Structure 1
Amino acid sequence: MARVLIAGCGDLGCQLGTILKQQGHEIFGIRRNIDNLPSEIEGIECNLFTPICDLPEKIDYVFYIVSAAKYKDNDYYQAYVLGVRNLLKALKGHPVKRFFFTSSTSVFSQSDGEWVNEESATEGHGFSTNRLLEGEELCNESTIPSTIIRFGGIYGPGRTHLIDLVREGKAHCMENVWSNRIHSTDCAGIFAHLMNLDMQDASAVAELYVGVDNQPTPSCEVYEWLAEELNVPEVDHQEPSENSRQMRSNKRLSNERIRNSGYEFKYPTYQDGYAELILED
């Protein structure tokens, strides 16, 4: 049994905590308000952006799953730099085996539809990616072993923005622009898989993973499929400007490393995930 701390225990953190509790681990979750945490998670009411309160003793694994409240530099600084720094400082003296940090594939700057993996170059091209890379650097420089997971576009229950846009006739897709996504269930599944893999053999866990499903897809193909499934009019297609290509991150992301580690996706394609969401709607 491991003692696990989940910092930023929102939707993904609660999914992860529930999975790990069912596997027999002891789970602690940090949130500003712990009233709505599931019973499987012992809440720690704490603000990560201020000097952190006392933590439970002998934490084995830490998951940092914090997101910025707003698309502003200060919010990204707090979420991906200040919070990480405060937590790493508070963990001094704990026998932490691994610190898992949630990052984003937006740090990859490629935009010509090329294949991208963990070895591909990154580039800070705005405050958001700069702050994400700062947070990654803090993890890499820490004395605690760390693993960074760069997730693509996350969808799932409560994350149905694209379905809503298509249904309401407000969606516009960009021609010849690749997109990459992952179901929230697989985000939590990857976290749990890597922690359990580390418990078996720490050398088997890499320092970096790309977290996307098996099927990079042109965005218009996804929109068209959704429109057909929802029985609504076709989505408007637009020719992207060079700026919009970059904004929409035109690349194909490979998940080969996480699959080779033994993880099996519950939702390997966007059709698998969105079909279930549409049925449940």
Structure 2
Amino acid sequence: MAKVLIAGCGDIGSRLGSQLSDAGHQVYGIRRNTDLLPEGIHPIAADLHQDNLDLPNDLDYVFYMASAGKYNDFAYYQAYVAGMKNLLNALAGQPIKRLFFTSSTSVFSQSEGEWVTEDSPAEEHNFSSKRILEGEQLALNADFPATVVRFGGIYGPGRTHIIDQVLKGKAQCMEDVYSNRIHTDDCVGVLSHLMNLATPDTLYIAVDNQPTLSCEVYEWLAEQLSVGTIEHAEPTENSRLMRSNKRLSNARLRATGYEFIYPTYQEGYASLI
């Protein structure tokens, strides 16, 4: 069985750690408040922003799953760049089989509803994408193999913003804007699956099988929840610049043999409502 470190062991990291522990792996989790870690994960109370990380020896796999607590450049630099540098310094000399860096599909700036794959260009179109891409490069340039996983919009238990908005009658959708999502259970499933592959690729897009127009999702939820009609809005030029509008392909991920627990938004949201 493997010796696994999860750096930034929050909600999804804890779920992943529990699954790997149940499978017999030895799992360590870095978190500031280790009281929140579930049983089965060996706690490491530390701040990734500090450069004095004390880590176990002979680790096999490492997951870097930090996220920014605030939406500003400093917070993103700390989470994706400084934390990554500190972790890599602490891992120096270890025979890591693979490092997994959890990233975001927000680094793709396509906005005309086009299909996007791992081969599509990603660019620094704002401070957040700049810092996330910096973190990706640090991982990919490390002294051991690395895989970047770019997740779409994550939803699931505790992540029910759209459902809450629909129930409150405050939901508004933009016409002709595509959205892409993935359930938390599949986030965990994808990472666990990739860890068990002999030679995973260096980059994967992790979204479900069905990019969907946002208004379709809102209307479906309203019907399921027996709520009135959803307000539709025509995207303004400014909102087009600010909002993502692309169809993300998960073909590379599915080609590895991964089968989604919730292949579309309908199965996923039905499990929540």
Q: TM-score range by the shorter chain?
A: over 0.9
- For 2:204 and 2:221, the matched residues in 1 are separated by 29
Match of 2:62, SS state, is: strand
In the alignment, which residue of structure 2 is the partner of 1:152?
152
- For 2:15 and 2:113, the matched residues in 1 are separated by 32
Query: Gaps (5+ residues) in structure 2?
Result: none
- For 1:41 and 1:140, the matched residues in 2 are separated by 26
Q: Which amino acid aligns with 2:243?
A: R
Alpha carbons 1:173, 1:236 under 8 Å: kept: yes
Match of 1:138, SS state, is: helix
Q: Could you state the TM-score of these two structures normalised by the residue count of structure 1?
A: 0.96
Q: 1:270 aligns with which of 258, 261, 265?
A: 265
Alpha carbons 1:60, 1:97 under 8 Å: kept: yes
For residues 60-93 of structure 1, the C-alpha deviation after alignment (integer angstroms, 9 at most, x for no partner) is 1000111100001100000110000100110011
Query: How many residues are aligned here?
Result: 273
In the alignment, which residue of structure 2 is the partner of 1:9?
9
- How far 1:141 sits from its partner (Å)? 1.4
Q: Which amino acid aligns with 1:7?
A: A
Match of 2:148, SS state, is: strand
Match of 1:52, SS state, is: coil
Q: Which amino acid aligns with 1:47?
A: D
In the alignment, which residue of structure 1 is the partner of 2:25?
25
- For 2:151 and 2:52, the matched residues in 1 are separated by 27
In the alignment, which residue of structure 2 is the partner of 1:252?
247
Alpha carbons 2:152, 2:181 under 8 Å: kept: yes
- How far 1:52 sits from its partner (Å)? 3.1
Q: Which amino acid aligns with 1:112?
A: E
Match of 2:157, SS state, is: coil
- How far 1:123 sits from its partner (Å)? 1.1
Match of 1:35, SS state, is: helix
- For 1:233 and 1:153, the matched residues in 2 are separated by 25
- How far 1:244 sits from its partner (Å)? 1.5
- For 1:240 and 1:215, the matched residues in 2 are separated by 22
Alpha carbons 2:180, 2:212 under 8 Å: kept: yes
Alpha carbons 1:213, 1:268 under 8 Å: kept: yes
Residue 219 (structure 1) aligned with residue 214 (structure 2): yes
- For 2:243 and 2:154, the matched residues in 1 are separated by 14
Q: Could you state the TM-score of these two structures normalised by the residue count of structure 2?
A: 0.99
Alpha carbons 1:52, 1:87 under 8 Å: kept: no
Overall identity of the aligned pairs, in %: 63
Q: How do residues 143-222 of structure 1 correspond to structure 2 at under 5 angstroms?
A: 143-197=143-197, 201-202=198-199, 205-222=200-217
Q: 1:242 aligns with which of 237, 240, 257?
A: 237
Q: Which amino acid aligns with 1:266?
A: I
- How far 1:242 sits from its partner (Å)? 2.7
- For 1:170 and 1:142, the matched residues in 2 are separated by 45
RMSD over aligned Cα atoms: 0.8
In the alignment, which residue of structure 2 is the partner of 1:37?
37
Q: Which amino acid aligns with 1:90?
A: A
- For 1:5 and 1:83, the matched residues in 2 are separated by 14
In the alignment, which residue of structure 1 is the partner of 2:78?
78
- For 2:116 and 2:2, the matched residues in 1 are separated by 34
Q: Which amino acid aligns with 1:22?
A: D
Query: Gaps (5+ residues) in structure 1?
Result: none
- For 2:6 and 2:195, the matched residues in 1 are separated by 12
In the alignment, which residue of structure 2 is the partner of 1:122?
122
In the alignment, which residue of structure 2 is the partner of 1:51?
51
- For 1:52 and 1:144, the matched residues in 2 are separated by 21
Q: Which amino acid aligns with 2:268?
A: G
